[in-house]
Amino acid sequence: MRLGDILVAKGLVTEDDIAAAMEQQRTQGGRLGDILVSAAKIQAADLDAIMQESPSPPTTIEETGISLQDLLSLAMKTIYAGGAETTSSVADVLKLPNRIVQLVLDQAKDRRLLEVLGAAGLRITSELRFALTEKGKAWAADALSQNQYIGPAPVPLSDYRERIERQRITNERVDRQAIGEAFENLIVPDAFIHQLGPAINSGQSLLLYGPPGNGKTTVAERIGRMFRNVLYVPYCFEVEGQIIKVFDPGVHEPIGQNTSDNPGRLAALRREDFDRRWVACKRPFIVAGGELTLEMLDLSFNTLAKFYEAPLHVKALGGIFMIDDFGRQLVSPEALLNRWIVPLERRVDYLKLHTGKSFSLPFDELVIFSTNLTPKDLMDPAFLRRIPYKLEIPTPTRDEFKQIFHAVSAARGLESTDQVASAVIAALQELGGTQLASFQPKFIIDQVLAACKFEDIAPRFRADLIAMAIGNLSVEQAAQATAAQGARPVSN
């Protein structure tokens, strides 16, 4: 975990500030945070708040929240199957402080599970190398038979619950400026923003509905960009001796992940003030589409590896979980909403282990339902009531369509005028009989550019090319589109 990246992510300092502080740190020494405070780049109170927010590392085995027996088993598996043979290499896998791992390995030596092979290198500061004894190999094999998890040590369920509560999405206020920045290059009516703001800040559930192609998914994705707070996600947590993986590089975006290829930066910013079992991430934005089933909302137990993968909505805790094309899932809307009656109303979710043991987690996330279908056809009033915010994304007006058309044209290097945009609207309504939609400008412009490339002509709007593009909006229009207008240019 890197302090500088967290400060940049929260908008407290810039990358240039970090670079300057690192250079001073290289030549004069000192702690990065103290250097930034001395240079008046950050207030001491802000730095203290960051340190208070982040998970503190354990200083004793008891403070890990995991039993010595489980830590021994995890360490033995790491040495046996993971190839680690020094204290620091085991600590890097377990994401625990070296001093904690050394205490665990000392216990292993006392129990004759480990033997010392010698120094790992020729320098005086080299670490001792360890190898498993026959007794240690038997311990590791038994541990692997119980579960094959090898990786960061889990955090206890109680710590995970507390962390979810501490970093609730409602702790962060999204104001008009944040919404404006997220929608900077979109044409969004003020009335819609006035409705959207309270829905986002509520941290509850939101229904986006309206005809297809008008940006429901885009709006949801932009909502995900409005949040700045850092979220701490555990690699995994432990319940009744069972390990449940949470951190997923496929859906979680670690803070400063683009600097992972710079070892110098990593070394300069790594701090022992953080518990490395947690990953500093942006608030997650996770989408589930038509593939969603009820089983995907339960813990996934790997019968071979014998540990669990958390479901998507648990991985989305503290962030946004979007159900796209709601009503077209393999599971019916009624069944899905029945599964989520308690989480949506009481903000708590219950999950069950394969042993029959159940446990609860705070259900803290903004759930977005997005659908092209009519809401009243999807659910009855009782279910609809449980989604407190319902926002329609209507078709664009003629003026809004022109604004979108001009903006996309400019971005793609095409000259567009009101006459061109009006001709497109006329062709859509007269030739295609098609309702205006926000996706159409990009669709048409991309097709016009492709046609110009094929004909080896300079990119420009031409009536026949526009007609052909509109024809490709649907199968019924394709046959008549190119014959409907001559090859005369549309005036710019």
Q: Choose the weakest-confidence range: 43-52, 73-82, 322-331.
A: 43-52
Q: Taking residues 173-200, report their average pLDDT.
A: 89
The candidate with the shortest Cα–Cα distance to 224, out of 200, 257, 196, is 200
Among 15-24, 60-69, 175-184, which stretch is predicted with the lowest mean pLDDT?
15-24
Which of 5-19, 94-108, 459-473 has the lowest average pLDDT?
Answer: 5-19
pLDDT beyond 80 at 264 = no
DSSP β-ladder status, 242-245 and 300-301: unpaired
Mean pLDDT along residues 386-405: 91
pLDDT at position 265: 41
Average pLDDT value over all residues in the chain: 86
Verdict on whether the full-model pTM lies above 0.85: no
Residue 270: CB atoms within 10 Å: 14
Q: What Å distances lie between residue 375 and 209, 331, 334, 350, 410, CA to CA?
A: 7, 16, 12, 27, 36
Q: Are 37 and 43 in contact (CB under 8 A)?
A: yes
**Mean of the pLDDT values across residues 335-340?**
85
pLDDT score recorded for residue 136: 94
Choice among 25-34, 297-306, 386-395, 446-455 with the minimum mean pLDDT: 25-34
Q: What is the mean pLDDT of residues 167-173?
A: 93
272-303 pLDDT, tens digit per residue, is: 478 999 999 999 999 998 888 889 999 999 99
In this structure, are residues 361 and 313 in contact, taking their beta carbons and an 8 Å threshold?
no
Provide the percentage of residues in the chain whose pLDDT is more than 90. Answer: 52
**Averaged pLDDT for residues 171-191:** 88
Which whole number is the average pLDDT over 197-216? 91
Return the closest-CA partner of residue 317 out of 197, 169, 156.
169
Instruction: Name the residue with higher pLDDT: 83 or 370.
Output: 370
